[in-house]
Amino acid sequence: MSRTPDTWILTAHCPSVLGTVDAVTRFLFEQRCYVTEHHSFDDRLSSRFFIRVEFRQPQDFDEAAFRVGVAERLAPFAMQVELTPPGYRAKVVLMVSKADHCLNDLLYRQRIGQLAMDVVAVVSNHPDLKPLADWHGIPYHHFPLDPNDKPAQERRVMQVVEETGAELVVLARYMQVLSADLCRKLDGRAINIHHSLLPGFKGAKPYHQAYQKGVKLVGATAHYVNDHLDEGPIIAQGVEAVDHAHYPEDLIAKGRDIECLTLARAVGYHIDRRVFLNANRTVVLNA
């Protein structure tokens, strides 16, 4: 669902206790804020409550007073609250290697306004995609990877993230494994995309391996990065059926399309404040 440009987003999570929904919605009512979208979820296994509300402000809205008031009202519930103003655009760093399909797709969705983000930098271990970033007027940082000094390259990556003020890093087919140290620094704010094949095929040419096994489904998984390769909390997945008429090149092409769509969906969920981390899982409201 597309967010309208005049709405605020209130997100919160806390232990499961009686009165959480009422506390949020009643406060908004008292402040004469009109709720345009509301979703909540109570996880009975973890005893955690999650809520996301979009609302329109009254004409005499006082943001500072509202922030103080909502914090005081929700404090008894130990709610961790985030308030996102209308028109907010997330600052994003994209990391790539040589494949351009996900990069091109994300830049296009930014350009047409489908994703409310500003790509503040493209970082790569190869120079190949610089012309695409240049065409969009986005700084391109080529940081070659020295296998004998990987930390030095990652320090340069982190410097770009910090200097640009990026809230999100997207590995848009960045074909290097991030170190455990960098994963910790980017915990909850780095998204990766990879193919999802059943059964799983590791190593070189996974789609050729899949063809040899006669797979009937190909897909992609977008997840937050952690220090276990491709095992971070999943945000979005996509899948399509294939059959015996799909040759390896057809599987690769279909895989590219699914990766683009799935990654864009995950990025959109994140910047629209629809994703909550819940231990090793995610809660994605109104996905």
Specify the CATH number for the domain of residue 273. Answer: 3.40.50.170
- Tokens in use for 139? 């700084």
CB 270 within 8 A of CB 285: no
Please tell me the predicted confidence (pLDDT) of residue 2: 60
Q: Is residue 263 part of a domain?
A: yes
pLDDT of residue 204: 79
Is residue 276 a contact partner of residue 236, using CB atoms and an 8 Å limit? no
CATH for 60: 3.30.70.260
CA distance 78 to 187: 22
Structural domain count, the chain: 2
Residues 205 and 79 in one domain: no
pLDDT confidence of residue 38: 96
pLDDT of res. 148: 86
Cβ neighbours for 107, distance < 8 A, ≥ 6 positions apart? 94, 119, 132, 136, 138
| Residue 210 belongs to a domain | yes
- Give the domain range for residue 40: 8-84
Whether residue 100 lies inside any domain: the answer is yes
Question: What residues contact 177, with CB distance under 8 A and at least 6 apart?
Answer: 229
102 and 143 both lie in a single domain: yes
The catalytic position among 100, 128, 187, 230 is 230
Domain boundary among 67, 84, 101: 84
Could you read off the pLDDT tens digit of each residue along the chain, which spans 287 residues? 566 778 999 999 999 999 999 999 999 999 999 999 999 999 999 999 999 999 999 999 999 999 999 999 999 999 999 999 999 999 999 999 999 999 999 999 999 999 999 999 999 999 999 999 999 999 999 999 888 899 999 999 999 999 999 999 999 999 999 999 999 999 999 999 998 887 777 777 888 998 999 999 999 999 999 876 667 899 999 999 999 999 999 999 999 999 999 999 999 999 999 999 998 999 999 86
For residue 182, the model assigns a pLDDT of 94
55 and 119, same domain (yes or no): no
Structural domain includes residue 3: no
Helix, coil or strand: residue 229: coil
Q: Is the same domain home to 96 and 174?
A: yes
Report pLDDT for 229. 67
Pairing relationship of beta strands 217-224 and 234-241 according to DSSP bridges:
antiparallel
Of 40, 41, 42, 65, nearest to 54 (Cα)?
40
Domain end, chosen from 84, 105, 132, is at 84
- Distance between CA 220 and CA 197 in Å, rounded? 8
Examine the fold and report which residue of 37, 69, 84 is the final residue of a domain before the chain moves on: 84
Residues 131 and 19 in one domain: no
Among 218, 220, 198, 201, which Cα is nearest to 266's?
220
pTM: 0.94
Residues 78 and 104 in one domain: no
What phi and psi, each to the nearest 5 degrees, are found at residue 20? -65, -45
Helices 20-30 and 63-74, axial angle in degrees (round to 10)? 150
**Co-location of 13 and 109 in the same domain:** no
> Does the annotation mark 181 as catalytic?
no
Length of the chain equals 287
